Every structure is written in structure tokens, then in C-alpha cells.
Structure 1
Amino acid sequence: MRLTDAAKKMLDGEQGAAKRLAMDSLVKFGDAYDAEEMVSIGYAHVAAGQPLYAGDMEQLEALSELGATVVVPTSVNIANADMSRGRLMHAPDKLVDLQRRSEPVHRRMGSDACYTCTPYWAGHWPTWNTHMVSLESTVTIFCNSVLGAKSNRDGYFAIYAAMTGFYPKMGYHLDENRRGTHLFKIEADLQNASDFGCLGYHIGLRARSGVPVIEGFARRPTLDELDAMGAAIATSGGSAMFIVPGVTPPYADVSDAFAGTSPEAIAVTSSDIAAVYAAFAPADDTRPSIVHLGCPHASMQEMREYAALLDGKRIHADVELWITTSRVVRQMAQEAGLSEVLERAGAKVLSDTCPIMCHLSRIMAPDPKHGLPAPAATRCIVVDSAKQAKYVRDTVHCDTFLTGTAEAVRSAIEGRLVARSGGVA
């Protein structure tokens, strides 16, 4: 692999042990994928360091002890607990204390310890053609598809790129891999972000690891709808990018997206959307224990929507309503008076984490030395996100009910499952 003089100095250890480790890992990573050179990155989104994954926190701390710092703007992904309101979500005190160890480490390294899967709502907005790294699939697909930045679905290599400012030129960093592979024509009636999430889930199943091009929207999708759709595409499939001509830079039309001849369009109907909802529908007599809103972490506009739906209402005594968002958006919601409305209704406004990454998950493997309790069983979680529906079922191992946002709120108020479009399950 061709390296710049700056990268060679890092590899040779002239800039310290931490950068040598990082650059050596990146070179080996790039060699494995036949990358010919590195690109300079302008942004990174990295792992939190999670005590529920054995060795994850320790690896972060070991890098810090080597003197690691980041050299590009860097945000931090979600953690295993809300570090200021852990008891509100019934997180074990020991887990919260362990997770708090990560915060000073990130700050020493120079990262923004925002602990969110939607750092773009917290001020991190990489621009068109910016090479970047992200270990969070939602961030990757949003930045590739909406902002026009260039990122792969990165794992722990994201922190190494943040430390060096370099990343192997491969995958979606190459323009030839940023062209459409499948064409989808929307014939479905899409009403809200939940419907867009189901659309994305259906497309992800069909496109797999390709780059779906999507046309035929009745109107221009909102940012929240694009966020929900992208998150779901990356959940049911392996794609890190979609193209909506006229939205995704620089593609003005379908021909641009395919660099020539377009394939035959695959129609997406309302029946396809309904099938995704139906895939996450438990028995009719199931009662919810938790209703969760905010996957991906809620934007300020979504917080306003939740407050409007809950104003003057009260959550059922047998149900908890969790709303997860970033620290930045939570603070904005507090200042706007939205949190008061939500909390008066009985909602729990949480940051830093979500149900699939916290103590509810039954697939985590913490180090036994931490002595963390095993997760308790959860009866049923109601969600308005196709991404969250899939991962709740797979990680929390409980009944999962997917519905619209308004219907999810009604489920929390009425203590029963309220299906999309007002039908009651």
C-alpha cells in the first residue's frame, strides 16, 4: 500500500506507540481488501467502550494509556446505560458506574462524548465528499445517502482512523462502488416515518448488500423519514448506501445513479409495507411492558411530535414509555418545555443508550469479573421503528410489536397493542 510520508512516520513509531498501533492495524486492514492507498478523513464516529461487551472498555482505556488522541472531529456512539438517569431505566448501579468510566477517557482523547446513534442531530454534519468513518450503520447510511459523505460500515477500525486521520481507500470511498445496483419504484402510500422504516426494511431484504435507487415518492421525504428508511435498509440488509435521485448528492436523476442503463424497476406496494408490520405482531392478547420511541435517537422535530401526542395524557400504570435521544436534543427539549410535557404524562426521556444496547439485552457477554446481574425477562416492547423491531426481537428476546408513532403512544396510554392506522390488535 502506498503511504504518505505522514502515514509512514506513524507506522514507524515516530509519533508514538498509539499511532503506530493504529496505523499498523489500518495497513493490515487495507491490505486484506487490496486497498492501494489511504484517504484522509474529516470525521469519525467511534465506539463508546461498553462494559456489557467483554474487553471493550478495557481496550478503550488501553489506547488512552498509550497516549491516544483523535486528530479529526470525533463523536461517540451509544452506551449501555443513561449515565445520568440510570435508575430511571432500572439499569444496575454497577453497570452505570462502569459505563461512566468511558466518559473521561473520551474527553482525554478529544472526542465528543455525545453517546448517540444520530450525531448529526447533535451538530456533527459531514459535508459532501468528506471521507469519514463510522461503526454505527445508521450513521454510515445517513451520511452516505443524505449528506453525500463517504463511509463504510466500520468496526473498531473507526477509532484507529480517528487517531491517525487516515483510512484505506476501499468500499464506499471509491466512486465506482457508489452507483446503483437495484431500482425500486414506490407505489405504496407512505404516511409517516414508521412507514418509511418499513419501506427501508423491505428494500434491504431485496437489495441485500447492494445500493438501492429509490424513486416514485409522492413528495420529498423529510430528514426523519430518510433517517428511518436508511436505518431499516441497513438492518434487514448489508447496504451502507441508498440513492434517492434529487436528494442524494450528486445524483440528479435515475440515469446518474446508474451511470447509464437502469435495471427494470421493482415495484413496492402498500401490501409490502403491511407485510413488514405484520412480521412484528405478537398474539392479540399480548400486553406491552415497554413502549419505546426514538430509534434512531430522536430529532428535535420528533420530540415535538411526541409532546403533541402526549400533551394532557397519562401513561398506563402497567406500561413504561421510554423516549431515547441524544444529550444535545434532550437539553434542547428541556429548554423548549417539551420534556416537561413528556414527563408530566409519565414518559421517561433518556439519553446515551437504547433498549437493544442496555441491560435488557440477553446477548451481551460482560466480563464475569464485573459481577453484573443477568437481564430480567421482558414481556413485550412496542416500537415505531422497523430497525428497533428487528433488534429488540433478536437481542432482548421478547415479543415485539411494530406500529406507527401515534399508535405506539396510544399503546402506552391504553395499556394494549394499538395497530397502525387505528386498528386495535
Structure 2
Amino acid sequence: MYLTNDEERALNGEYGEALEMAYRILSSIGRLTNANHLIKISSAHVSGVSYSTIGDYGKEFLENLSLNAKVSVPTTANPAGLDYQNAYGFNINSNYVSGQIKIIEAYRRLGVIDSFTCTPYEGFYLPPKGSHVSWAESSASIYANSILNLMTNRESALSALASAITGKTPYSELHIDELRKPSLSIQIKMDDFSNCVKFALLGYFAGRITRGPMALQNIKNPNPSEAKAICAAMGTSGASGMFTINEKMDKVERMDFTNDELKTVYDELNDAEKGDAIILGCPHLNVNEINEISEFVGDRRLNKKCLIFCSRKTYEEARRKGYTDRIEKAGAKFVCNTCAVFTPIISNLGVDKISTNSCKAAHYIKRVHKISINLKDVNEIIKESCR
């Protein structure tokens, strides 16, 4: 892979250990992905934030790095493993709290925006359409390519961090127009495709079929909530980084998605008739989604624990608009800047079954926390959980 003289000097350590490490990471990835050179990016989104996923080794790496490095482009960060403004809530032990707060402090020293959300495109900096970016978090990178008309590969925690520091990424895969063309067309053959869960089940099915871009046919343009559902589920079940909607395709492989395929995926993820608690916000909810929940709840009370995950910025805006009042009066709790899956909060609920509208949450909660899942659309969950 070609490097400029300046990049070569950075790779050789002339500009310090942090840049040397970052360029070594990008050079290795570039060689593996057949990149010819590096290109400039407009923004980055880093994962590897929750103490549940990176532990002490990741914490120490970030602490050391943050002493000598700064990000060079606007950079947002994925959710943490707890709400650091309510760090000791939900019976989280002090060692976990300490480790998580040190990770957050390290990212702040690096200059990362205080976002801590898996939906950085909602309420935070967005570069112009067509921009090259380096986004980790599978659902966000798929959303960037498919909905926002940005260009990014599905980055890892390390590669996105290296790009954030250097402001560059290898020119490969989904950064190249020719490689963004779908090689598979999925034909949706269903009359009723009316809620986010069905869009998520489609995404979970599609993610398993191909690693490359795909075209989803015979489907209405998804609204932001439905698009998030597709992206999160697709990123969970497979390695594809992009889809298109109703793009005309010639001479590509075709596959059908019918009620039979939908039922197969649903039966795999759903293994409980009802939940003992409710988890909403995987991916994080936006202000409009919080308003919808408020309208569903009305003046009723919830008869079980309900946790709603969103960014702190989203929560504050929803609170100012009066959307959170009825939800909190109904008995639900908002958990800000926290991952709805990779957190001890879920296990500490002390329940055997959880209701959620998220295929991503269903997939990981079953595997990480060994809790059964009742998968339903949000209005159905609220309807059966209110009195």
C-alpha cells in the first residue's frame, strides 16, 4: 500500500508512539483489504467503550494512549456499560463502576465527543452526504452507508480509533463506488410489513445471506425507526455493511423473504410468551420514539420493570419537550449513555424473561445473560404491560 512521505515518517515513529501505532494498524488493514492508499475521513465513531467488552486490558490501553494522543476529526463514542451520572444505580459493583469511569475519562482526554450512543447520527455531528467516514458499531456503519449516503467499512474498535487519531482510513471495500453495488436481491413477498419487528426480522435474515451489499426489493421506504431496526439486526447476524431499497438490479442472485422465512427467524429469537421486564432502546431511542412510547402509555401504569435506553442528549431534549414525564410516572426508568446489552444492569434485574422489540437485543441478551426473550412490537408490549 502506498504511503506518502509524511505517512511513512509517522509509521516509522518520527511523530510519536501514538501515531506510529495508529498507522501500523491502518497499514495492516490496508494490506489485508487490498487498499492502494489511505484517504482522509470527515468523522469517526469508536466502539470498545463498555467495560463489559474491553475489561481491564482495554481500559489500560486507552489510559496509556490518552496520555499522548488526540483525535484529529470529530469522533463520537459507543455506549458505556453504565450511566455514569447514576453510576451506582442498579446494584453495579464498585470495581465495575471504577473501571468504566476510567474508560470514559480516557476517551474524554482523547478528545472524543461526549456522545456515548450507538446512534451517533441522531443529534450529533453528521458530515455531508458522500463523505468518507470510519465508523465502528455495526448498526451505525450500515445505517451510514445505506441511509445517510456516507461511505464507511464496518470498522473494529481499534481501526476506528486509529482512523480517529490519524484522520485517515484505507481506501478499500465500501469506500469504493464499484464495490458498493449489490450482488444479491432479496424479494420481500409479504402483504403486511407494518412494524419495526418485521423490518428487524428481515435484517436478521438478510445479514446471514451475504457478506456484501444487498438490495431489498418490494418494500416501502423505511422510516428512521424501521431503518434502525434493519441495520441493527443485519449487523448482528452477519458481516454485510450495506443495503439498498428497491434499486433496479439486473443479473444478480435473487432470494425470497416470505412469511415462512419471517416465522423461522422469529421462532429462533422468541422463546417466551411474556416478559417479566421490558427493555427498549437497542439501538438507542430518539426523541420521536420516546414521544411515541409516551403516547402508547398515556395515563396508565406499567405492571413490570421497564428500562429505556437512549443518549443523555436525547433524554434531555425529550424531557424538555415533556415526553418523558408520563413514561416515568408509569414506572419506567431511563438509562442514558448505556448499552442495552453489554451491561450488568440486565443480569441485575433478576428476571428470567424479557420483552423487547429489538432483534439485536434478543440475540445478545439470550447469549450474554442467558435470559429468555419475548419479541414483540413496542405498542404490543406496552398494551399488555399496562394496567
TM superposition shift of 1:283: 4.7
Determine the structure 2 residue equivalent to 1:324: 309
TM superposition shift of 1:28: 2.2
TM superposition shift of 1:80: 0.9
Contact 2:50 2:343 in 1 (8 A): no
TM superposition shift of 1:224: 1.4
Determine the structure 1 residue equivalent to 2:342: 357
Contact 1:44 1:133 in 2 (8 A): yes
One-letter amino acid matched to 2:283: P
Give me the CA root mean square deviation: 2.0
TM superposition shift of 1:160: 0.8
The reply to whether residue 197 of structure 1 matches residue 197 of structure 2 is no
Q: 2:301 aligns with which of 314, 332, 346?
A: 314
One-letter amino acid matched to 1:392: I
Determine the structure 1 residue equivalent to 2:104: 103
TM superposition shift of 1:392: 1.1
One-letter amino acid matched to 2:301: R
Determine the structure 2 residue equivalent to 1:290: 277
Provide the rounded CA distance (Å) in 1 between the counterparts of 2:341 and 2:164.
26
The reply to whether residue 59 of structure 1 matches residue 61 of structure 2 is yes
Provide the rounded CA distance (Å) in 2 between the counterparts of 1:144 and 1:299.
20
* 3-state DSSP of counterpart to 1:159: helix
- The 5 A counterparts of 1:69-84 are 69-84=70-85
* 3-state DSSP of counterpart to 2:113: coil
Provide the rounded CA distance (Å) in 1 between the counterparts of 2:140 and 2:264.
26
TM superposition shift of 1:295: 1.1
TM superposition shift of 1:267: 2.6
Determine the structure 2 residue equivalent to 1:262: 251
One-letter amino acid matched to 1:213: A
Contact 1:307 1:341 in 2 (8 A): yes
Determine the structure 2 residue equivalent to 1:37: 37
Comparing 34-43 with 4-13, greater Cα deviation is found at 4-13
Contact 2:305 2:332 in 1 (8 A): yes
- For each residue in 1:229-257, what CA deviation from the matched residue of structure 2 results, as whole angstroms up to 9, or x when unmatched? 11111212211111114xxxxxxx414xx
Provide the rounded CA distance (Å) in 2 between the counterparts of 1:31 and 1:263.
29
Distance 1:410 1:137, change over 3 A: same
Determine the structure 1 residue equivalent to 2:358: 385
Provide the rounded CA distance (Å) in 2 between the counterparts of 1:328 and 1:266.
41
Distance 1:59 1:70, change over 3 A: same
Determine the structure 2 residue equivalent to 1:27: 27
Contact 2:50 2:339 in 1 (8 A): no
Provide the rounded CA distance (Å) in 2 between the counterparts of 1:303 and 1:361.
20
What runs of 5+ residues in structure 2 fail to find an aligned partner?
none
Contact 1:280 1:402 in 2 (8 A): yes
TM superposition shift of 1:355: 3.4
Provide the rounded CA distance (Å) in 2 between the counterparts of 1:283 and 1:40.
48
Determine the structure 1 residue equivalent to 2:216: 214
Provide the rounded CA distance (Å) in 2 between the counterparts of 1:144 and 1:356.
24
Provide the rounded CA distance (Å) in 2 between the counterparts of 1:175 and 1:386.
30
Distance 1:115 1:174, change over 3 A: same
Contact 2:188 2:218 in 1 (8 A): yes
Count of residues in Structure 1 that have an aligned counterpart in Structure 2: 383
Distance 1:136 1:7, change over 3 A: same
Contact 1:291 1:321 in 2 (8 A): yes
One-letter amino acid matched to 2:289: E
Provide the rounded CA distance (Å) in 1 between the counterparts of 2:17 and 2:253.
53
The reply to whether residue 348 of structure 1 matches residue 316 of structure 2 is no
- For each residue in 1:262-293, what CA deviation from the matched residue of structure 2 results, as whole angstroms up to 9, or x when unmatched? 33532322343333333233254xx5232111
Distance 1:126 1:186, change over 3 A: farther
Provide the rounded CA distance (Å) in 2 between the counterparts of 1:26 and 1:94.
33
Provide the rounded CA distance (Å) in 1 between the counterparts of 2:90 and 2:324.
16
Determine the structure 2 residue equivalent to 1:151: 152
Contact 2:137 2:155 in 1 (8 A): yes
The reply to whether residue 272 of structure 1 matches residue 261 of structure 2 is yes
- For each residue in 1:121-155, what CA deviation from the matched residue of structure 2 results, as whole angstroms up to 9, or x when unmatched? 12232332211112200111000111121111211
Q: TM-score, normalised by structure 2?
A: 0.93
* 3-state DSSP of counterpart to 2:45: strand
* 3-state DSSP of counterpart to 1:265: strand
Determine the structure 1 residue equivalent to 2:376: 403
Contact 1:49 1:60 in 2 (8 A): no
- For each residue in 1:101-127, what CA deviation from the matched residue of structure 2 results, as whole angstroms up to 9, or x when unmatched? 233322222110211000111223233
The reply to whether residue 8 of structure 1 matches residue 8 of structure 2 is yes
Contact 1:378 1:398 in 2 (8 A): yes
* 3-state DSSP of counterpart to 1:119: coil
Contact 1:197 1:386 in 2 (8 A): yes
Distance 1:345 1:86, change over 3 A: farther
Instruction: Give the % identical residues.
Output: 29
TM superposition shift of 1:411: 4.1
- For each residue in 1:57-102, what CA deviation from the matched residue of structure 2 results, as whole angstroms up to 9, or x when unmatched? 111111012x110001100011111111244444334423321223
